Structure 1
């Protein structure tokens, strides 16, 4: 068994609840694998993402009917074919129109969850059988402790962190979620399952709580992001709805977006979703998607867009994170995806079939969830301190929001890190198994939140700032002085300036007459100029973290040498 980082630590007040104190749940339900159903609409994309005028003109000329989201930031218009025309016919005609890059049939994705196999849905007849890796005293919050979140919270509580959750909405009245919601946005376009602050399904409430449940309030569970807040984008899982949600969450300033859904990868990803993901990535949003909840190499869209086939072993590759599920022992969950589209893993279940407890505890709406209303009810609801608005679910859906919350904590702590830099940091700091490096089972390893945050705190990504001045002395000599300031965000440690490059240019012919590296704390130096000549002086600083001050666009100072 993999060693536990928290086994010898004292309990955390208000965080650890013993598993034995709960009603024992059994198993959970899910959707069976299926092809992505069509919606009967088309996604029309302009040639230029920033200009959807051509797409709108083509739609008008074709007599198509506007239906669903229009997202001008990525050049998207959603339409239905004109009467008497099939979706395929309309797609061919609109694809050939001037100014249109693509016209694709829209499809609907499905949530990532544990498959509804009988061995996973039936209750374990004997509690605590050898199949379970957990002793009776293991706390409900074991994924948070195992992944090092208490240590991460010692670095930051994430007061400024903002996580976007694209899912089935949330129960906004839940005491673990009500104080954490920054925005509720309804992105449903085909079928309405109620406002964004309601969740008839239950999936969105559970996922959102794993990311940002109210922490330290003496109620229920703790969220991975501690004090982070939520932008809830309620989707009907259609391509247009998802694309609109990604763009809207980005425009609302989220640090990370969680997407615990996907398809089977049998069709290319929609251009609309690709553009929306690129739109977010270019604005430094960390994109996190749940990998497949099947033991397959193809993780489907959007995971396979964030980490394309073959790119997993390259730590620099990809525009986001495709997250598979790990067990308590740090093994890949039997139901979870693997292979070259996997970025890293996070805890998504206790163990394999028959393990107890059967998943990760998160918030549930008060009303029965889809899992409980299924033909084979999950019996996954449980109570914490007498409150029954909690339940167990397992899956990559449960792993992904822990990663998204960690990414948001890192981005809020160290805003100098780009989204791509955070993606690399989470891979680099993941806890690796034997052999280290990347492997097809867990990608770069299991999420290590403590190491990620402590590394982010020590990562100085801000260039120093310097300024030079020049004073004319007698006999054509010029005295140069310089100053350097190396700063960092409030909770990040600046590495300190290492050197300054001084450059002096004779303005008459733009000839460089001095180029010299000097210590940052040096006093002054002089050079021999020519009386009457004018000289431009500039400086460029370097710090110990390898950051370089951008090349100045103008001289810091200009001086005329005198006799």
Structure 2
């Protein structure tokens, strides 16, 4: 296998990654009319004249729309809402239509290495509830119809397309399938906790941006409705600590602490930038007027918040090619994954690849020449949204017409996080009461020590050992 530095690989094939935040093309824009406000010192009627977007009473914050001068007049702490402009993956490998009607478990190396079928002899996650805070979950997908609670599902974007639909793209449906795809319908794929209940908390619309306030509100909501787990396969890196600000840090940590106290374990993808989060880099900005350059420490959000589980990705190189083709084991750190001692809780299957064997877009392969590189990615459910207007260059718009259901191989820490969320649902289903700390500690304690702590944290996820620990 030809070796590359992780940064070289990002340059070669960054578009392949399945995480919502991919590469270093991340900008954070402040809103001029939407604000997160501390309401600890507010009285009834103080918000008259401002439009309330999200109420987050359990953590004493509220999201409002209006002029900044009106917010300033409140005399309390506040900050503009921020929209993360995130680069969605440009490539993935879809399953051929002829394969969609046949069981695909044999291609799911991620579920095989976790031995989820053995877990299902004890529990399939019955009674556990998992929030998918993402781009939308297709409740109509044949492998997810049994799992999505559409009554509890909620759209936080305000785009009018509702919930239980993949209006923000295929990503959320792929994440949801990793958690709970049906293992008993004799079609498609299997999830880790197919007996669990899913709640679609959609925070992405057709465009690439997501509001911090919408994401925060979704976490609070997940905790309020007693979700055992909230999966967040979202994030941005690098973000300036100065730009993020102490107020945002306070809001984020307060919300994650509230979720933990409510018994909701928040699982977050570590990111796909091949970055050492233990030694975060710096962001340098040139002043347009003076030409002076100022540098600030960088962070990764939200996975560097307190009270969350941060998940790195692993994967094989050579799965399905047989014999000597298995050049790297399934516990190999993925070539794109973020890492860092004390920054990662556990590692889990997210997909891997050798960029030297990925054909160019315009390369024509003869029969038998397909290197099957995509077999090293993670295979699961996908729903492709269809809108009235579907331009090639701009985000789709107009009436939402439905979705096309299929399956796809995708790679990213976005795929690793729901492996952990699914395992957490299995563990939670065996506990008498909600307790995020106990679930987290169980997953960490039973993880397999495979060395390289900076990549694996406490170890590689082992759902069988976790289930045995609590049953």
The change in CA–CA distance for 1:177 and 1:110 in structure 2 (over 3 A counts) is farther
Q: Which residue of 2 aligns with 1:442?
A: 456
1:71 pairs with 52, 56, 76, which one? Answer: 56
List structure 1 runs of 4+ shifted beyond 3 angstroms: 26-32, 55-60, 89-94, 109-114, 268-273, 366-369, 372-375
2:444 pairs with 404, 427, 433, which one? Answer: 427
- For residues 328-371 of structure 1, the C-alpha deviation after alignment (integer angstroms, 9 at most, x for no partner) is 221211111101311111111133424432521111115469xx
* Unmatched runs of 5 consecutive residues or more in structure 1: 2-25, 48-52, 124-136, 307-318, 376-386, 458-563
- For residues 528-556 of structure 1, the C-alpha deviation after alignment (integer angstroms, 9 at most, x for no partner) is xxxxxxxxxxxxxxxxxxxxxxxxxxxxx
Q: Is the 8 A contact 1:348 1:398 kept in 2?
A: yes
**CA distance in structure 2 between the aligned counterparts of 1:55 and 1:418, rounded to whole angstroms:** 34
TM-score of the aligned structures, taking structure 1 as reference length: 0.60
State the SS of the aligned residue for 2:58. Answer: helix
Q: Is the 8 A contact 2:137 2:173 kept in 1?
A: yes
Q: Is the 8 A contact 1:45 1:271 kept in 2?
A: no
**CA distance in structure 2 between the aligned counterparts of 1:276 and 1:260, rounded to whole angstroms:** 17
Matched pairs, number: 369
Per the TM alignment, residue 397 of structure 1 is displaced from its structure 2 partner at its CA by: 0.6
Q: Which residue of 1 aligns with 2:469?
A: 455
The change in CA–CA distance for 1:231 and 1:450 in structure 2 (over 3 A counts) is same
1:353-368 mapped onto 2 (5 Å cutoff):
353=355, 354=358, 355-357=373-375, 359-367=377-385
**CA distance in structure 2 between the aligned counterparts of 1:57 and 1:263, rounded to whole angstroms:** 36
Q: Is the 8 A contact 2:17 2:412 kept in 1?
A: no
Are residue 301 (structure 1) and residue 301 (structure 2) matched? yes
Are residue 350 (structure 1) and residue 343 (structure 2) matched? no
TM-score of the aligned structures, taking structure 2 as reference length: 0.71
Q: Is the 8 A contact 1:324 1:396 kept in 2?
A: yes
Are residue 325 (structure 1) and residue 313 (structure 2) matched? yes
**CA distance in structure 1 between the aligned counterparts of 2:117 and 2:85, rounded to whole angstroms:** 33
Q: Which residue of 2 aligns with 1:42?
A: 35
Per the TM alignment, residue 109 of structure 1 is displaced from its structure 2 partner at its CA by: 3.7
Are residue 257 (structure 1) and residue 212 (structure 2) matched? no
Per the TM alignment, residue 374 of structure 1 is displaced from its structure 2 partner at its CA by: 7.0
* Unmatched runs of 5 consecutive residues or more in structure 2: 2-14, 94-103, 205-209, 278-298, 317-328, 359-372, 394-403
Per the TM alignment, residue 260 of structure 1 is displaced from its structure 2 partner at its CA by: 0.6
The change in CA–CA distance for 1:395 and 1:216 in structure 2 (over 3 A counts) is same
Q: Which residue of 1 aligns with 2:421?
A: 404
Higher relative contact order (CA 8 A, sep 6+): 2
Q: Which residue of 2 aligns with 1:243?
A: 216
The change in CA–CA distance for 1:335 and 1:154 in structure 2 (over 3 A counts) is same
1:283 pairs with 258, 262, 278, which one? Answer: 262
Q: Which residue of 2 aligns with 1:167?
A: 134
**CA distance in structure 2 between the aligned counterparts of 1:113 and 1:346, rounded to whole angstroms:** 21
Q: Is the 8 A contact 2:124 2:194 kept in 1?
A: yes
Greater Rg by CA = 1
**CA distance in structure 2 between the aligned counterparts of 1:277 and 1:181, rounded to whole angstroms:** 24
Q: Is the 8 A contact 1:187 1:244 kept in 2?
A: no
Per the TM alignment, residue 205 of structure 1 is displaced from its structure 2 partner at its CA by: 0.8
**CA distance in structure 2 between the aligned counterparts of 1:231 and 1:260, rounded to whole angstroms:** 15
- For residues 162-220 of structure 1, the C-alpha deviation after alignment (integer angstroms, 9 at most, x for no partner) is 1111111122211111111124533334x516211211311111111111111211121
Which stretch shifts more, 325-334 or 264-273? 264-273
Q: Is the 8 A contact 1:39 1:238 kept in 2?
A: no
1:198-217 mapped onto 2 (5 Å cutoff):
198-200=165-167, 201-217=169-185
State the SS of the aligned residue for 1:345. Answer: strand
- For residues 372-416 of structure 1, the C-alpha deviation after alignment (integer angstroms, 9 at most, x for no partner) is 9877xxxxxxxxxxx961111110111101101111211121235
The change in CA–CA distance for 1:207 and 1:373 in structure 2 (over 3 A counts) is farther
State the SS of the aligned residue for 1:287. Answer: strand
Q: Give the number of the structure whose residues are more often helix, by fraction.
A: 2
State the SS of the aligned residue for 2:305. Answer: helix
